[in-house]
Amino acid sequence: MTRAITLVRLALRNLRRQARRSAITAAAMIVGGALMIFSLSIGDGGHEQWIESGARMGSGHIAIQAPNFHKSRKIDDRLSSSARGAAESALRRPEVAEHTLAAVPQLAVVGLASSPTGARPAQIIGVDPIAEAEFSILDDKVIEGRYLQPDDRLAAYVGAGLLEGLDLRLGSRFVLTAQDADGEIAGQLVRVVGVYRTGVPEVDEAVIHIPLATAGSWLRSGDDVTTIAVLLDQSSRVRPVSRILERELSAEREAGNLTVLGWREAMPVLDAAVRIDDLGNYVWQGIMFGIIALGIVNTVLMSVMYRKREFGLLQALGFTPRQTGGLIVTEGVILTFVSGLIGIALGLFLTWYFFRDGLDFSFAWDEEWSFSGIAMDPVFVPLFRVTRVIQSLVFLFLIGTFASLYPAYRATRIDVAEAMKFER
């Protein structure tokens, strides 16, 4: 223990002796650490927005559905009333309810929307107007008219793309056609009460909201729903909450009545986009720290070369080569760790101070940017996570250790007699 303390004190003194060199290396590390935490928190914040946007436009962070529904999209694969009851009571459990922002019933079918001008395939979703307004972002994106209301009967809330495509306007009537619960093709006349625009063509050109009661009588499915969509307070809660729901609903799941689907399975394309974006971020960090690590190798190596005599003397006095190497690694690790810590703290502070309300990219693009089924918000609100800070610290620690290994190896190989021979 005392030996370790001596080693640390020696290392600290050595770093102080070359204050300028240490400072320049530290500066690279501080800038790198700050950039890393900045880009990670902005990236995480962006992803959280994407996921929430995807969840609020579709079937939530978690969707409870009949096992086949996700693939078949058929009304035949709707939730039985017993399965729905079980799911709703599971959602009422306190450990689930505390993280749930909203849980809404949806009856989703694929059908044809047609007007005198033409016909388009549409995703028709029967919704509970009040609950859905809480859950969905579509009601906030209204550009004309209003969202559905509880006493609406033959009302439809339509995307701007579909409205244009069918040459409709507010108040126009059009016909929805789809296969009903009995397997017959059924039509339903509805009237446009509101128009929205999300900027995502896949949504604006296809998704129609109608009241659940209207959908139920049109499709002869009564009060049945295909999906219970659950919105959580944070995407990181998806896994624990899914696990609780799966445990609570195990009887229904084993009977093949329902399945609990996380957003990653429900929206594989968005999942891929988030993971690819993360990969890009990691590659970027890897490159930056690769360059920084080479700088550290150089600094530590030079400090070894300059101190050959000193190490020779230390070893002549009984320092083992191993302790010499340990000293070098300690120096490298202290330098990177302290400067990394400062960098991370600085990064957290600067990101929080300047960008806590969001990093605004709207000068570069307008709100019509979309990918993988979601609209990209040009304002990135950073998300600070303790796990990211710990990951970054571990990463910096590893960089410091690896960068000092080669110089340390060189130091262990110093020939004592040779090193002390000349006065330089």
CA distance 129 to 374: 22
Distances (CA, A) of 175 to 12, 123, 156, 197: 78, 13, 10, 21
Contact between 362 and another protein per CB under 8 A? no
Among residues 5, 364, 386, 417, which is the contact residue for another protein, using CB under 8 A?
A: 364
Shortest separation between residue 283's beta carbon and another protein, angstroms: 8
Looking at residues 285 to 344 of the shown chain, list those that interact with another protein (rule: CB under 8 A).
287-288, 290-292, 294-295, 297-299, 301-302, 305
Amino acid occupying residue 200: V
Q: Which is nearer to another protein, 151 or 423 (CB)?
A: 423
Contact between 144 and another protein per CB under 8 A? no
Place of tokens 């070359």: 18
Contact between 365 and another protein per CB under 8 A? yes
Contact between 19 and another protein per CB under 8 A? no
Stretch that binds another protein, among 69-77, 228-236, 314-322, 323-331 (CB under 8 A): 69-77
Q: In b/e form, how buried is each residue of 77-111, taking b as 16+ CB within 10 angstroms?
A: ebbeeebbebbeebbeeeebeebbbbbbbbbbbeb
Q: Which of 377, 57, 369 is nearest to 207 (CA)?
A: 57
3-state secondary structure of 44: helix
Q: How far apart are the first and last CA of the chain?
A: 35
Shortest separation between residue 364's beta carbon and another protein, angstroms: 5
> What is the residue-wise DSSP string for 207-266?
EEEEEHHHHHHHTT-TT--SEEEEEES-GGGHHHHHHHHHHHTHHHHHTTS-EEEEHHHH
Q: Which is nearer to another protein, 175 or 381 (CB)?
A: 175
Q: Which is nearer to another protein, 32 or 326 (CB)?
A: 32
Q: In b/e form, how buried is each residue of 388-423, taking b as 16+ CB within 10 angstroms?
A: bbeebeebbeebbbebbeebbebbbebebeebbeee
Shortest separation between residue 260's beta carbon and another protein, angstroms: 21
CA distance 304 to 321: 13
Looking at residues 145 to 164 of the shown chain, list those that interact with another protein (rule: CB under 8 A).
164
Q: Which is nearer to another protein, 242 or 299 (CB)?
A: 299
Distances (CA, A) of 340 to 30, 31, 390, 402, 405: 6, 9, 12, 15, 18
CA distance 353 to 376: 24
Which string of x and - marks every residue 94-113 that binds another protein (by CB under 8 A)? ----------------xxxx
Looking at residues 24 to 63 of the shown chain, list those that interact with another protein (rule: CB under 8 A).
24-25, 27-28, 31-32, 35
Shortest separation between residue 56's beta carbon and another protein, angstroms: 19
Contact between 181 and another protein per CB under 8 A? no
Among residues 37, 86, 122, 148, which is the contact residue for another protein, using CB under 8 A?
A: 122
Among residues 10, 12, 70, 74, which is the contact residue for another protein, using CB under 8 A?
A: 74
Which string of x and - marks every residue 245-274 that binds another protein (by CB under 8 A)? -----------------------xxxxxx-
Strands 155-159 and 185-196: parallel
Q: Which residues of the shown chain bind another protein in the complex (CB under 8 A)?
A: 20-21, 24-25, 27-28, 31-32, 35, 71-74, 110-114, 116-122, 164-165, 167, 177-179, 183, 185, 201-202, 268-273, 275-276, 279, 284, 287-288, 290-292, 294-295, 297-299, 301-302, 305, 364-366, 368-373
